[in-house]
Amino acid sequence: MPEGRPEARPLRPHDPARLGRYDLVGRLGSGAQGTVFLGVGADGEQKAARPGAAGRSRLR
């Protein structure tokens, strides 16, 4: 797998800018369970992030 940022579409105006300690920099996809965002930590670590129900979020 090539290094670097996965291909992500731009955030939309109503999208969150941050999730936990990750700045959200793009949208990876969306479906029945919601939108998955690309998050980047202060150290450059990348995670797929999905806001969860009742304020719970998932980072992978």
- Name the helix (H) or strand (E) containing 24: strand 22-31
The three-class DSSP label of residue 53 is: helix
Token couple for 21: 């300690």
- pLDDT band per the 50, 70, 90 thresholds, residue 51: confident
More confident residue, 2 or 38: 38
pLDDT higher than threshold 90 for residue 18? yes
- Which has more pLDDT, 53 or 22? 22
Which of 56 and 6 is assigned the larger pLDDT?
6
pTM to 2 decimal places? 0.77
Indicate the SS3 state at residue 54.
helix
